[in-house]
Structure 1
Amino acid sequence: MDDHGWLDTPQSIITREGKEVDSSSERWHLPYSIWKSTSLDFNKIINLKIRWSVKSYVRDRLERSSVHAGYSVFQHVYTEFLRYAADFDIQHGKQFKEQLISLIESRISVTRKEHRLWALYRPIQWYIYCAENYPELGFCPAYAMELEGMSIPGNPKGEAVRMEDPDKGPLHHSLELPLLIAAMKNDTSKELKHLQEKVAVALSIAFGRNPANLTYLREEDFIDLTPEAEERCYILKIPRIKKKQLSPRDDFLDEYLAPLYANYIIELIDKNAAINTELQFNNRVIPNPKPLFINQNGNRAALLSSDFENAYNVTSADITGLLKSFVARHNLISPVTKSLLQVNTRRLRYTLATGLAAEGISKKELARILDHTDTQHVLVYFEMAGKVVEHLDKAAAKGLSRYLQFFKGKVIDSDDEAVNGERADKHISYIDEENPTDQENIGVCGESSICHLDPPYSCYLCPKFQPYRHAGHEHVLECLLQNREKRLEKYENARLGIQLDEVIAAVAQVTELCAEGNNNG
């Protein structure tokens, strides 16, 4: 018992995950490495009775639920209730019960007007817990029953997806996503941070995981299944979060990796080899498994709480920072907003999900890919599937071409400048599929062997293509734009629309290059 007759808080607490928390002072350092700061400062709570009750509930959540739950309870109770306590002059005496209820009623009224009543779920659970366990302190069981009967909506999900917010919703599949992918493919830097950026972008595009999943990745999670084979097969074992296991690394989802993305990880692991992740603590050396994303400065939350196995993990904010610094380094300007592309893991998750829904994936399979336990959370993506492919006109296509640079070939003035210019079988014509008599000689194929692409659509995306400067590429662009919607209706595949947009952007780029050449000439 302390001086007030309340039970003393123990000197240490063992969390449900089996981690020890030093609770002997007014500041508790929680072992939660995905966030930069997970210290709880109970000195912020002035009223000692309330402070003790919050400690009790946080301890309950740490022991019975998770570190995340304990941290969230403290933050929400303080942010939504207790930081306003001074306005209600809550004292220890007889007025305590009424003053605290007045505070809560005020906050309910405010959050209801702001349409964010969901934010009070955890603070209300704290009051109900206290009323059930410590009514003698002034927590009212009758009022707790009233709170328990309240209908509190869940955290709104999918609003950014539904609203198609240009800064928060999915990336535009034709105008923004290709910009990000092209920058990733063209990035040849071997600096550690730049390699981390590229891997973070690749994994977020490919799998749409939360940043916390990526923070727990280790080098050992990357596996080459066919080290002796010519065609390699790679998997990445991705730790699962929010699944009630004691540790995210208690359960994994095995995901197959495209060879290109696997090579990015191989480059990062090679760079990591020079970094020592052994930890010096109390005159002993603690070997640590290497995270895939190494925090060379050490993870502050892990170190303060002696959570040594995560001592070199990056945080969720670090993952988001890698995505943003990649965009800034490449100066990726969104054709939609005309400003720097806004990227985070959530937007890339939305982008992956809406794209797959538009392609016709099943709800069950999309839930598996996003690691949801049921299909209710993926319904919003199917609501938006029909809006993934949007209208594209000539002006938009030409504006798009300046950003994406899909055309990699060489514009020529005559066959004399072209590789294979003397070979009639390498001359390429465009035939309008709606009007087969409408034909246009557009250039020369520079590939010496047999080409397995699909001319003329694939030609504009091929680095071996040599378009004529004075050919009718404007006409090709007009035909493609006119036929785009018809092709989408014919094949009923939104993915085809996205691929067509890449061709359209490349043709538009050629028209711009030809126009520049004519003006200069």
Structure 2
Amino acid sequence: MSSPAVIKSPAPLDLLQLPATVTTRDGATFDPRLDLWSYREALQNVYIDIQRSIADFAPDLVLPAKKALIWYAMNRSPGHFSTMHSRLAHFLKFRSSLPDVGTEIRSTDIINYKAWLPENQAWYLSSLSGFLKRWHRLGYRGVHEDVVRLLDSLTLSGVRKGAAVSSMDPLKGPLTNVEVEAVQDAIHAAYADGTMDERDYLLSILFMALGCRSIQFASLKVCDLRLEATDQGDQAYFLSIPRAKQRGQMSRTLFKERALTPQLGSALYEYADRVRQEYSELLTDPSQAPLFPQKRAKQCPAGFEYHMTAASLGDALTAALSKLGVISERTGEELNISPVRFRRTLGTRAAQEGHGELVIAELLDHNDTQNVGVYTASTPEIANRIDRAIAMTMAPLAQAFKGIVIRDESQATRHGDSSSRIVDLRIDRSASPMGSCGQYSFCAFNAPVACYTCSSFEPWLDGPHEAVLNHLIERREQLLATTDQRLASVNDRTIYAVAEVIQLCEAFRASEVGAHE
């Protein structure tokens, strides 16, 4: 007796019309027939849930929407592809709330969507417009012809660029000079005491110095750092930065060379050599090891073995810096630190120094100047004046003083050591010490200006701190009159630190008076 024939259920029509595999622009593959598209392309992860973003709101449009999205996956960057999906999902969710939407996207859907979008999201339709037009041009059903005609007739708002820069947004915009110094001091202190590891330390310094995008640092390899001897016999360090956001290019196709300071270059070169040795048995060519590798082994595409993604590298930096607890003098709260803020700070400071759009475009790795005009059009100005009243008001917010106020030298860490006394005859002719230095190692910083923001400084209760404050404010006024605001503001954070010491001394004396009453 023959066995009964196995009857297979026919595959859904939608699945039969999609390929089994799609290869993206940078060589990643995924199965578009599934409802979850998840893969890593070069330095970015892509995760798209078709069921939750499209099928739940427009089941009749799943197949053509997938086909349109496939075109973007094959021809555009993963970031652009993900953005198009997000804009479509946002629109379809809104559209599902309308009555009688039918099986096609119509012009009335677009009109309602445009009217519904809040002002800060008006640019969503501009992005969606390009996607819907492409969908229609590809010949897939789902977008009625009247939609294209309507979109062509509309004047759509794009993303408002530069708002955070022009307004000096305290949460997203450029950092002030005081904030930059606070971050730098905190980074150095955290690395010195072991609470920040070497990778995060060097990455933080590079972000502040070069203002590159996260994807550029994520794509760096140890071979990108080069040491050369100059004609004068010195050593020069150069870092070849892979260019990003170049249309139609892979992450490591084009490079821009950046010179590094000897201090940063030397430290980075020693670090890179250790990374190369660490990966000597994991990679055939250890010079191809990532300069900033991920801490846990994960599957990565060919050519990017052990590389972090752009998002994970940016998150790692933000997490490391958020632990520092740096306070913003503008908000009185912990500083919101992100990679893009360092980039905006670099552009802003370049404009403040008088550099034009071409120089700023080169610094920020732009192909042209169309997106850098915001830096030169309305260069944010530093506050013109800081007097004693302003300094005393801002001091509690800035929290620039990191040391400990002591009664006198008897309480100093190095009591009895006359070389630990901080004295400046330019400020106080009587040679009264401002305080003591609690550090035993050699210090090459300028005392007493650098002392007040140093954690090793121990100001004395009766030190001439008022004289220091007056000296710094007068010096600032002189520089403001003879140079420019940026040079005049160099010691602003120190001014706030001295003002804080004065307030702490006043509180110290008040507590003693209260204790004796």
TM-score strictly above 0.5: yes
Any residues of structure 2 matched to 1:433-512 within 5 Å, and which? 441=431, 470=462, 472-492=464-484, 494-505=485-496, 507-508=498-499, 511=502
CA shift in 2, pair 1:365/1:455, >3 Å: same
Q: Are 1:140 and 2:147 counterparts?
A: no
Q: Match of 2:143, as an amino acid?
A: F
Structure 1 residue aligned with 2:191: 188
Q: Match of 1:64, as an amino acid?
A: N
Structure 2 residue aligned with 1:54: 65
| Contact 2:216-2:244 within 8 A present in 1 as well | yes
For 1:42 and 1:277, locate their aligned partners in 2 and report how far apart those are by CA, in whole Å.
42
| Contact 2:327-2:334 within 8 A present in 1 as well | yes
> Aligned-pair distance for 1:249?
0.7
Structure 2 residue aligned with 1:86: 96
Residue from 343, 346, 349 that aligns with 1:349: 343
For 2:115 and 2:133, locate their aligned partners in 1 and report how far apart those are by CA, in whole Å.
18
- Give TM-score scaled by structure 2 length: 0.78
For 2:248 and 2:195, locate their aligned partners in 1 and report how far apart those are by CA, in whole Å.
32
- What SS does the aligned partner of 1:233 have? strand
Q: Match of 1:429, as an amino acid?
A: L
> Aligned-pair distance for 1:340?
1.9
- What SS does the aligned partner of 1:403 have? coil
List per-residue Cα deviations over 1:461-518 (Å, max 9, x = no partner).
89999998756431331243245234213112x3312323255346446656876897
CA shift in 2, pair 1:141/1:452, >3 Å: closer
For 1:191 and 1:456, locate their aligned partners in 2 and report how far apart those are by CA, in whole Å.
27
Residue from 121, 125, 128 that aligns with 1:116: 121
For 1:101 and 1:217, locate their aligned partners in 2 and report how far apart those are by CA, in whole Å.
46
For 2:228 and 2:397, locate their aligned partners in 1 and report how far apart those are by CA, in whole Å.
40
List per-residue Cα deviations over 1:66-104 (Å, max 9, x = no partner).
3333332222211x212334324777xxx424x644433
> Aligned-pair distance for 1:439?
5.9
| Contact 1:198-1:264 within 8 A present in 2 as well | no
- What SS does the aligned partner of 1:429 have? coil
| Contact 2:167-2:380 within 8 A present in 1 as well | no
> Aligned-pair distance for 1:404?
4.6
- What SS does the aligned partner of 1:249 have? coil
Q: Match of 1:38, as an amino acid?
A: V
- What SS does the aligned partner of 2:26 have? coil
Q: Match of 2:47, as an amino acid?
A: S
- Give TM-score scaled by structure 1 length: 0.78
Structure 2 residue aligned with 1:379: 373
For 1:458 and 1:332, locate their aligned partners in 2 and report how far apart those are by CA, in whole Å.
18
For 1:24 and 1:161, locate their aligned partners in 2 and report how far apart those are by CA, in whole Å.
43
Q: Using CA pairs under 8 Å that are at least 6 residues apart, name the structure with larger relative contact order, 1 or 2.
A: 1
Structure 1 residue aligned with 2:426: 430
CA shift in 2, pair 1:291/1:17, >3 Å: same
For 2:285 and 2:424, locate their aligned partners in 1 and report how far apart those are by CA, in whole Å.
65
Q: Are 1:218 and 2:221 counterparts?
A: yes
| Contact 2:242-2:253 within 8 A present in 1 as well | yes
> Aligned-pair distance for 1:359?
1.8
| Contact 1:192-1:268 within 8 A present in 2 as well | no
Q: Match of 1:419, as an amino acid?
A: S
Q: Match of 1:107, as an amino acid?
A: Y
List per-residue Cα deviations over 1:107-131 (Å, max 9, x = no partner).
21112x4342211233222322333
Q: Match of 1:147, as an amino acid?
A: L
For 1:191 and 1:229, locate their aligned partners in 2 and report how far apart those are by CA, in whole Å.
37
For 1:96 and 1:465, locate their aligned partners in 2 and report how far apart those are by CA, in whole Å.
72
Structure 2 residue aligned with 1:128: 133
CA shift in 2, pair 1:167/1:324, >3 Å: same
For 1:43 and 1:397, locate their aligned partners in 2 and report how far apart those are by CA, in whole Å.
52
Any residues of structure 2 matched to 1:163-182 within 5 Å, and which? 163-174=167-178, 176-182=179-185
CA shift in 2, pair 1:343/1:457, >3 Å: closer
| Contact 1:442-1:473 within 8 A present in 2 as well | no
Any residues of structure 2 matched to 1:398-417 within 5 Å, and which? 398-399=395-396, 402-405=399-402
List per-residue Cα deviations over 1:282-327 (Å, max 9, x = no partner).
xxx998932122113345xxx3xx6233242223332333333333
> Aligned-pair distance for 1:241?
0.8
| Contact 1:33-1:313 within 8 A present in 2 as well | no
List per-residue Cα deviations over 1:251-295 (Å, max 9, x = no partner).
111111123333443464366457559779xxxx99893212211
Q: Match of 1:153, as an amino acid?
A: S
> Aligned-pair distance for 1:368?
0.6
| Contact 2:276-2:287 within 8 A present in 1 as well | no
CA shift in 2, pair 1:411/1:232, >3 Å: farther
Q: Match of 1:82, as an amino acid?
A: L
For 1:442 and 1:375, locate their aligned partners in 2 and report how far apart those are by CA, in whole Å.
54
Structure 2 residue aligned with 1:25: 34
For 1:497 and 1:407, locate their aligned partners in 2 and report how far apart those are by CA, in whole Å.
28
Q: Match of 1:259, as an amino acid?
A: P
| Contact 1:394-1:481 within 8 A present in 2 as well | no
For 2:328 and 2:42, locate their aligned partners in 1 and report how far apart those are by CA, in whole Å.
33
For 1:371 and 1:341, locate their aligned partners in 2 and report how far apart those are by CA, in whole Å.
26
Q: How many residues end up aligned between the 2 structures?
A: 487
Q: Match of 1:500, as an amino acid?
A: N
Any residues of structure 2 matched to 1:218-237 within 5 Å, and which? 218-226=221-229, 231-237=234-240
- What SS does the aligned partner of 1:310 have? coil
> Aligned-pair distance for 1:205?
0.7
Structure 1 residue aligned with 2:18: 9
Any residues of structure 2 matched to 1:38-53 within 5 Å, and which? 38-44=46-52, 45-46=54-55, 47-53=58-64
| Contact 1:30-1:67 within 8 A present in 2 as well | no
For 2:15 and 2:276, locate their aligned partners in 1 and report how far apart those are by CA, in whole Å.
53
Q: Match of 1:249, as an amino acid?
A: R
Question: RMSD of the TM alignment (CA)?
Answer: 4.3
| Contact 1:477-1:508 within 8 A present in 2 as well | yes
For 1:187 and 1:232, locate their aligned partners in 2 and report how far apart those are by CA, in whole Å.
28
Q: Match of 2:50, as an amino acid?
A: F
Residue from 83, 86, 96 that aligns with 2:103: 96
Moved more, 25-34 or 69-78: 25-34
For 1:377 and 1:52, locate their aligned partners in 2 and report how far apart those are by CA, in whole Å.
37
List per-residue Cα deviations over 1:303-357 (Å, max 9, x = no partner).
3xx6233242223332333333333433323333222221001111122222222
- What SS does the aligned partner of 1:223 have? strand
CA shift in 2, pair 1:430/1:116, >3 Å: same
